[in-house]
């Protein structure tokens, strides 16, 4: 596995380990809202990495669970104090409503970030600038330029940044990638990506009436860089915010971060980007209503002639690799196709070894007769594997399984689909300069205006 760009050491030299209940009781050190059930850590825990979790809703709760098995959770943060207090009760740690006060602490080594998408980059940048390593949920970026910023900050600071695309720690997915790369499917391989059908149409898509935000929520901070908008539950909920372009790219970036990733990895395109992009789809423009694309059909063409098709269809989600000698289909539940059925016992041993190489030699469980790991359940869940890889890389300073450099390339493919749908025409892209060729209108969409005082500063 590649070594991290700078090879800098892992642990912060200035971290303080004297925090206790008495420090909380004295006040002044923590933010105004502090859960005071913190217990002094036992000496045996002092060698563990100290973890802080920022964004502790559903996904953040799971990330905190896996991180707590490997390190010691010493703080949590959420703009919704109810969520923060629930997290604090589970981990006996102080909690904050403002992540900046959490980052001021000197006893933290790593942070997990599971906020809405539009907050990922700003928090990750400031955490790395504070000397912390970061596990950040996908999709990491809201725009193409945000990805450029993150890559530059990782290079400059030497911090480890693991993206939460945990399918890169799924042995079944890694076997599909290895099989696609092996040449057994033939030449002129194409990938067809069907993203999860999650669109909501008609009256259920809005417009929604404005209501008062709950008193325990800092609604202005939740909105962050996005334009100021009235509160409604559909913007705030974990199932709703990704249907608003202000905060996300919809299924194109949410599930595209997983499955376009698998497609590019299987075709060996993880270090580059398409040179031609075109797509059709519906982008609603109703005030205070869902606004991300649906019914889309996009085509990504690469310089070596490879093609990836990305569609939103009411069919089984996943990736189909198709060549002149056969095809295979992969998602979190199945790896199917005649080339898979025809594998001999020796072939399967070979394939497991190839997948193990792709995993960086982490020996992910996939032995014959052993249950495939699920995302959250069981001792070998893929999410747990993924978090374990992050902790390993914090100590070794190697690039993690889901490094920001290749994730940035994949997210560019997803973001460019939305831009092509918006402009309703074919676009050409320069993967080296990372800009559209001769297209000022498209290049203006590489970034977005950011509301003060929540701009990303580097």
> Model confidence over 118-138: pLDDT tens digits?
999 999 999 999 999 999 999
Q: Torsion angle, CA of 381/384/390/395, rounded to 10 degrees?
A: -110
For residues 184 and 195, give the distance between their C-alpha atoms in angstroms, rounded to a whole number. 25
* pLDDT tens per residue across span 11-61: 443 443 322 222 222 232 222 233 222 222 333 445 899 999 999 999 999
Predicted pLDDT of residue 250: 94
Predicted pLDDT of residue 13: 37
C-alpha distance across the termini of the chain, in Å: 29
The pair phi, psi for residue 163, each rounded to 5°, is -90, 145
Q: Name the least confident of 44-53, 292-301, 311-320, 406-415.
A: 44-53
Q: Which domains does the chain have, with CATH numbers?
A: 170-359+404-446 (3.30.360.10)
For residues 55 and 64, give the distance between their C-alpha atoms in angstroms, rounded to a whole number. 10
For residues 31 and 73, give the distance between their C-alpha atoms in angstroms, rounded to a whole number. 17
Q: Are 217 and 78 in contact (CB under 8 A)?
A: no
Beta bridge partners of 73: 51
Q: Indicate whether 176 pLDDT > 70.
A: yes
* pLDDT tens per residue across span 351-375: 999 999 988 877 665 444 455 667 6
Please give the structure tokens belonging to residue 92.
């006996």
* pLDDT tens per residue across span 431-452: 999 999 999 999 999 999 999 9
In the sheet with 318-323, reading across from the earlier edge strand, the strands are 335-336, 326-330, 318-323, 190-195, 307-312, 294-301, 276-282, 427-430, 435-436
Q: Indicate whether 348 pLDDT > 50.
A: yes
Name the band, by pLDDT with cuts 50, 70 and 90, for residue 239.
confident
Nearest to 17 by CA among 53, 45, 58: 45
- Sign of the alpha-carbon torsion through 288, 290, 292, 295: negative
Look at residue 349 and give its three-state secondary structure. Answer: helix
Predicted pLDDT of residue 204: 84
Task: Note if the bond before 25 is cis, omega within 30 degrees.
Answer: no
- How far lies 210's CA from each of 229, 238, 250, in Å? 9, 18, 22
Q: Are 122 and 134 in contact (CB under 8 A)?
A: no
Look at residue 110 and give its three-state secondary structure. Answer: strand
Residue 324: CB atoms within 10 Å: 10
For residues 61 and 69, give the distance between their C-alpha atoms in angstroms, rounded to a whole number. 13
- Containing H/E element for 443? helix 440-443
Which residues, 6+ apart, have CB-to-CB distance to 163 below 8 Å? 136, 137, 138, 140, 257, 400, 402, 403, 404, 407
Predicted pLDDT of residue 455: 98
For residues 28 and 22, give the distance between their C-alpha atoms in angstroms, rounded to a whole number. 12
Task: Note if the bond before 453 is cis, omega within 30 degrees.
Answer: yes
* pLDDT tens per residue across span 1-16: 455 554 444 344 344 3
- Give the strand pairing for 50-54 and 72-77: parallel
- Containing H/E element for 108? none
Residue 68 CB burial class (10 angstroms; 0-12, 13-18, ≥19): middle
For residues 60 and 165, give the distance between their C-alpha atoms in angstroms, rounded to a whole number. 14
pTM score, whole prediction: 0.89
């Amino acid at each position: 596995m590649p070594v991290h760009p700078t090879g800098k050491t892992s642990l912060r030299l200035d971290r303080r380990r004297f925090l206790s209940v008495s420090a909380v009781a004295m006040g002044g050190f923590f933010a105004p809202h502090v859960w005071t059930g913190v217990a002094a850590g036992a000496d045996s825990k002092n060698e563990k990495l100290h973890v802080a979790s920022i964004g502790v809703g559903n996904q953040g709760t799971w990330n905190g669970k896996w991180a707590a098995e490997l390190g010691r959770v010493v703080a949590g943060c959420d703009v919704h104090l109810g969520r923060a207090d629930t997290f604090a009760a589970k981990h006996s740690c102080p909690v904050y409503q403002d992540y900046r006060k959490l980052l001021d602490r000197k006893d933290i080594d790593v942070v997990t970030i599971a906020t809405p998408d539009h907050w990922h980059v700003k928090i990750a940048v400031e955490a790395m600038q504070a000397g912390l390593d970061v596990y950040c949920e996908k999709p990491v970026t809201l725009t193409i330029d945000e990805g450029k910023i993150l890559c530059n900050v990782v290079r400059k600071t030497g911090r480890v940044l693991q993206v939460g695309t945990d399918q890169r720690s799924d042995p079944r997915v890694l076997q599909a990638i290895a099989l696609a790369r092996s040449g057994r499917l033939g030449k002129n391989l194409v990938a067809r990506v069907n993203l999860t059908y999650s669109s909501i149409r008609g009256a259920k898509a809005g417009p929604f009436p404005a209501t008062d935000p709950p008193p325990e929520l800092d609604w202005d901070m939740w909105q962050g860089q996005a334009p100021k908008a009235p509160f409604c539950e559909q913007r705030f909920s974990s199932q709703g915010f990704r249907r608003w372009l202000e905060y996300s790219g919809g299924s194109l970036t949410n599930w595209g971060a997983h499955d376009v990733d698998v497609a590019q990895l299987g075709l060996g395109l993880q270090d580059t980007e398409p040179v031609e992009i075109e797509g059709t789809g519906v982008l609603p423009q109703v005030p205070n209503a869902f606004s991300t694309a649906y019914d889309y059909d996009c085509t990504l063409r690469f310089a070596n002639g490879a093609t990836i098709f990305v569609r939103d269809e009411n069919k089984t989600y996943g990736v189909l690799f198709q060549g002149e000698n056969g095809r295979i289909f992969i998602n979190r539940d199945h790896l199917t196709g005649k080339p898979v059925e025809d594998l001999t016992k020796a072939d399967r041993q070979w394939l497991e070894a190839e997948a193990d190489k792709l995993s960086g030699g982490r020996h992910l469980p996939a032995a014959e007769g052993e249950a495939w790991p699920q995302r959250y359940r069981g001792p070998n869940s893929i999410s747990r594997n993924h978090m374990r890889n992050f902790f390993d890389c914090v100590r070794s300073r190697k690039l993690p399984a889901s490094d920001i450099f290749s994730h940035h390339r994949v997210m560019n493919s997803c973001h460019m689909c939305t831009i092509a749908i918006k402009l309703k025409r074919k676009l050409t892209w320069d993967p080296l300069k990372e800009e559209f060729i001769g297209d000022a209108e498209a290049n203006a969409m590489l970034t977005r205006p950011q509301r003060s005082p929540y701009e990303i500063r580097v």
